[in-house]
Amino acid sequence: MITRKYTLYILSALLSLFCLSSSIDVSAKKKVRKIVIDAGHGGKDPGCHGVYSFEKDITLAVAKRVGQMVDEHYKDVKVVYTRDSDVLAGGDLLTIKQSLVYRTEVANREKADLFISIHVNATPKRNSPVKGTLVLVCGPTRVDEKENAIGSHTENIDENEGLLDPSDPATQIIIAQYSQAFLTQSIVLGQKINDGFVDQGRVTEGLRQQSLQVLASSAMPGVLVEIGYLNNQDEENYLNSEVGQQEVATTLFNAIKAYKEVAEKETIQIIKEN
């Protein structure tokens, strides 16, 4: 679990990195103008299940509620869904593995500023006392994959002509800095989501790093949120209720709103050596 103390340590270390004065400072993209919301599973892939419901249906319902809140509050922010109906993202002709790739392809093609994947957790036991939310950010074992995604989609982030020149040896260093910056931003968003669940009185498992394909292959900050345990009867009832879905969606939206305010206050500086 990533503790608040450890999160602050990461933020401080990266801030020091960005503020080096012996280089040419170039502003990294910071505005949040497009958000990709990924409802986990779908169609032939139901995800986990409880006594009477499937993960795919709950994630879609919550994703649409979050998107609607963003649309109503921000006229200058576009919401893109990886799926908006009960089909596998990309279509049921795809395999589940291909659908995972499709989800990140959508985010990269759309040049998204945030990627939020919504899931519901479960344990092997059919009726479990385990409950709680969990927020995941990209794990350290897939840093190379994250950097490859950024390097393959430099047009998404290079607002400074010549910053990411493939022929420039410094480009890989700059890409690594973007990767670190995206991890920091993901942690900031993830912590705000977790804090929101805490404020609601939900049981939480905190914030963790985990090596997930949908986070590693997307060239932007992102989180995967497990919004409860479907094989816990209380949480299944909650997540299928109007009140529960609205509360979860509100927590996610409030975190997006708070993140956007913080992210757009100051510009991250990416270092390019003379």
- CATH number where 64 lies: 3.40.630.40
Q: Does residue 247 lie in a domain region?
A: yes
Which residues, in sequence order, are CB contacts of 148 under 8 Å at separation 6+? none
Q: Which residue has the tokens 């990416």?
A: 270
Q: Does residue 20 lie in a domain region?
A: no
Q: Does residue 215 lie in a domain region?
A: yes
List the domain range (segments joined by +) for residue 259. 4-14+25-272
pLDDT digits (tens, 9 = 90+) for 114-171: 999 999 999 998 899 999 999 999 999 999 999 999 988 887 776 554 456 766 778 8
DSSP E strand boundaries for 93-229: 114-121, 133-138, 204-210, 222-229
CB 154 within 8 A of CB 75: no
pLDDT band at residue 188, thresholds of 50, 70 and 90? very high
CB 186 within 8 A of CB 138: yes
Q: Does residue 186 lie in a domain region?
A: yes
Note the Cα 152 to chain centre separation in Å: 19
Distance CA 129, CA 131 (A): 6
When divided into structural domains, the chain yields a total of 1
Q: Does residue 144 lie in a domain region?
A: yes
Note the Cα 140 to chain centre separation in Å: 16
Element (H, E) at 78: strand 78-81
Q: Which residue has the higher pLDDT, 49 or 15?
A: 49
Q: Does residue 47 lie in a domain region?
A: yes
Distance CA 234, CA 228 (A): 10
Give the per-residue pLDDT at 36: 98
Give the per-residue pLDDT at 266: 63
Q: Does residue 105 lie in a domain region?
A: yes
User: Can you read off the two tokens belonging to residue 78?
Assistant: 């576009």
- Percentage of the chain with pLDDT > 90? 73
pLDDT band at residue 14, thresholds of 50, 70 and 90? very low
Question: What pTM was computed for the model?
Answer: 0.87
Give the per-residue pLDDT at 96: 96
Q: Does residue 202 lie in a domain region?
A: yes
Cβ neighbours, 10 Å, residue 47: 19
Amino acid sitting at position 211: S
